[in-house]
A and B are shown apart, each in its own frame.
Chain A
Amino acid sequence: GDSVTQMEGPVTLSEEAFLTINCTYTATGYPSLFWYVQYPGEGLQLLLKATKADDKGSNKGFEATYRKETTSFHLEKGSVQVSDSAVYFCALSEATGGFKTIFGAGTRLFVKA
């Protein structure tokens, strides 16, 4: 079945450092890919998405490119802020799966001032 694998955390960075959180997936069809963010004590928020190969999703300085050849969707940000501290989930959804969302394990990010 479909699955998502993302790098284990926690990831601890200093403010203004470069962030990469790796994500790879396996899917039977052509999924849409997502990054969700969950801030402490809050619900899940969609951060960005990409629906086809080579698409780049971006939002709030975060970017991720849908790489079909490497089945990856790595999340990057050039300069993190303390307010970016949260848990980040990579996820996929596809029609053959009834559009249910499959989540990765989540990566906790701590950004120090």
Chain B
Amino acid sequence: GAVVSQHPSWVICKSGTSVKIECRSLDFQATTMFWYRQFPKQSLMLMATSNEGSKATYEQGVEKDKFLINHASLTLSTLTVTSAHPEDSSFYICSARVEGVGPDTQYFGPGTRLTVL
């Protein structure tokens, strides 16, 4: 089946630094990728929708200048958490939608755990 990878799987950084998380579709092309965050013992909240070659669409309440999303190719989307602070510590999960396979086919990455000290 289709595989989505994320890198890194976990990262610890100091407050004020920026962290980049990659999301790759390994064996298919994804025109749309989604970024979610999950706080401990909570549900996944959609942050933004990323379409290849265009600007990401952010959900209400998500700071686009803080969470920079780039979808430069059909197999790669990146999320950069800029000037990270402890409240940004969370589990970030991406998913990739497969065009043409079915209207509902999405594959989720394994997630990236970010801890900001």
Contact = CB atoms under 8 A, between A and B. Distances in A.
Interface of A: 32, 34, 36, 42-46, 49, 51, 89, 93, 95, 98-106, 108
A99 B97 contact: yes
Majority SS at the chain A contact face: strand
- Tell me whether chain B's interface is mostly helix, strand or loop, or mixed: strand
A36 B97 CA distance: 16
Lowest 6 A-B CB distances belong to which pairs? A32-B104, A43-B110, A44-B108, A103-B44, A103-B43, A105-B43
Interface string B4-40: 0000000000000000000000000000101000000
Given A43-B93, A44-B93, A89-B44, A101 B34 contact: yes
Interface residues of B, number: 21
B75 interface: no
A44 B34 CA distance: 14
Contacts of B41: 108
Given A98-B49, A99-B97, A100-B49, A44 B44 contact: yes
Contact of A106 (B43, B57, B95, B109): B43
A89 B104 contact: no
A49 B110 CA distance: 19
Q: Which of A95, A99, A104 has the most CB of B within 10 A?
A: A99
B106 interface: yes
Contact of B34 (A46, A89, A100, A106): A100
B41 to A, nearest CB: 8
B110 A93 contact: no
B104 A104 contact: no
A51 B104 contact: yes
B49 A101 contact: no
A36 B103 CA distance: 17
A48 to B, nearest CB: 12
Contacts of A105: 42-43
Contacts of A93: 104, 106
